[in-house]
Structure 1
């Protein structure tokens, strides 16, 4: 049996694409330099290409793509899921390129087998897939950011309770914020710890660090924590009841959102359930009805 070299080439290309996809989806090892840079993070507008020298080629490509006219990068959503704008743009370019090339590649393979589709069809499909591939990362990021935002809000409600307990134990405002953040070990608490550590390194109050983190993530409840503790630190106000009330209000908001989502999911299940019931009714009634009609 003679194997066509074009079939071998097609198999190699598919295998290389699968290997690249697996390499992108595999969790990357922790980068110690980036973890240390979080303590002295420079402003985004002052970062240069030299600062990105240690990143991968796709990150450097995405960093150059950030200057594309009309490209809107969801910075707050990317911060919530811990993804850099450069990586986001690299994903957009990669998916758009795959969508643009894939139909032409499949058409070429089909032409080698003797089936030649019209040229206009692969061109139209390529354009459609390229546009879809360019927009796909936006939808993925927004979906992941929505889930991450809920996780952050739950953690912030717990952090409010912990800060209130630390204040009730007669710890100072700054010390209460640090001790409460040290209790948790999740992603949200690590981000809060990093913000407080950067504030301590810069010799600014810890609530200023939470201010910056709240602005970066776009989370109003975290801004509320910073405002409440600022009042306690500057005016010496008793904030135990305020913290507990804000935590309760945040939990009530999350519960209401969960109930609304559950109601919406229940309503969406009405149509499939009705269709399944109708189908089962037809399958049960049709044989008996068929026999009745043919007997007479």
Structure 2
């Protein structure tokens, strides 16, 4: 009995020490720092990390060895400003942690002779839980990315409105796009500015930078100002009315989506409110009912 407890304690301590070692950040690599400073790195994630953590290193190893077998939500990670290696490493770390934790609990249960449990049950249950955690990380990334895309669409609507005002002041398309991109310090504004700067240094057009950013992040509304500015820059078209119409349509779509989300949340609250009401009625009526029965 004592030997089994010591073995399980050693396994738990080793797993905890390995998890802490994986999560400790290290010094950033010179190539990463140089690419971030020269703005030649990939468009996203745009936030520069001070160092690689355990998830990042673990994810790089997994992608290097089994990258073809792993499906990574690239657009969602781009919106979340998270690298594929960090996402895959987090998936593997959480799944492994759940598996080890459940195995330790199963080992402690096996020490008790009161409830004998077959070996297949804890092993199978741990594997199922690890798989659920693995795919749950993807679902969490999609949910968080959807929320951030709403914020990105709001920024795009503001960009369209400011671009229309700037073009109304007889500002050229290149200068107009540069001016409206300079306003704002949120993460969508930062991504737009960095995409424009990278494309400028590469000798490309700014509207192509917006189109590429729309494809990378999955925010299709960003391609609308890209097309409008392309027409203004290449065909000298007057796009002020077009930009205003696009901004109005996007604002209307965002308002409709907000109402739909509010209705969904309201419908989800029906069952909790009904259950709370029923519990309250039982809590009030049960003592009176018991008193009446005891009196008769």
**TM-score with structure 1 setting the length:** 0.82
Aligned ranges for residues 10-159 of structure 1 at < 5 Å? 12-13=13-14, 15-16=16-17, 19=20, 23=24, 32-36=33-37, 39-41=39-41, 57-69=57-69, 71-111=70-110, 117-159=117-159
Contact 1:78 1:84 in 2 (8 A): yes
Q: Distance in 1 between matches of 2:20 and 2:77?
A: 26
Q: Distance in 2 between matches of 1:119 and 1:59?
A: 30
Match of 1:216 in 2: 216
Aligned residues: 279
Contact 2:59 2:90 in 1 (8 A): no
Contact 1:62 1:87 in 2 (8 A): no
C-alpha distance after superposition, 1:140-191 (max 9, x if no partner): 2111111111111111111111212221222110111111111111111111
Change (3 A) 1:252 1:217: same
In structure 2, the gaps of 5 or more residues are 45-51
Per-residue deviation, 1:8: 5.6
In structure 1, the gaps of 5 or more residues are 45-51
Q: Does 1:239 align with 2:239?
A: yes
Change (3 A) 1:149 1:233: same
Contact 1:62 1:85 in 2 (8 A): no
Superposition RMSD on alpha carbons, in Å?
A: 3.0
C-alpha distance after superposition, 1:44-67 (max 9, x if no partner): 9xxxxxxx9xx9532421331552
**TM-score with structure 2 setting the length:** 0.82
Per-residue deviation, 1:206: 0.8
Per-residue deviation, 1:230: 0.7
Match of 2:48 in 1: none
Q: Which stretch shifts more, 148-157 or 110-119?
A: 110-119
C-alpha distance after superposition, 1:197-250 (max 9, x if no partner): 112112222101111111111221100010011111112222222212211211
Change (3 A) 1:56 1:275: closer
Task: Say which SS state the counterpart of residue 41 (structure 1) adopts.
Answer: coil
Per-residue deviation, 1:253: 0.9
Q: Distance in 2 between matches of 1:284 and 1:126?
A: 43
Q: Distance in 1 between matches of 2:289 and 2:92?
A: 59
Q: Distance in 2 between matches of 1:161 and 1:144?
A: 27
Q: Does 1:272 align with 2:272?
A: yes
Q: Distance in 1 between matches of 2:135 and 2:160?
A: 37
Q: Distance in 2 between matches of 1:196 and 1:280?
A: 59
Match of 1:293 in 2: 293
Q: Distance in 1 between matches of 2:248 and 2:22?
A: 44
Change (3 A) 1:100 1:68: farther
Change (3 A) 1:293 1:107: closer
Contact 2:214 2:222 in 1 (8 A): yes
Contact 1:62 1:88 in 2 (8 A): no
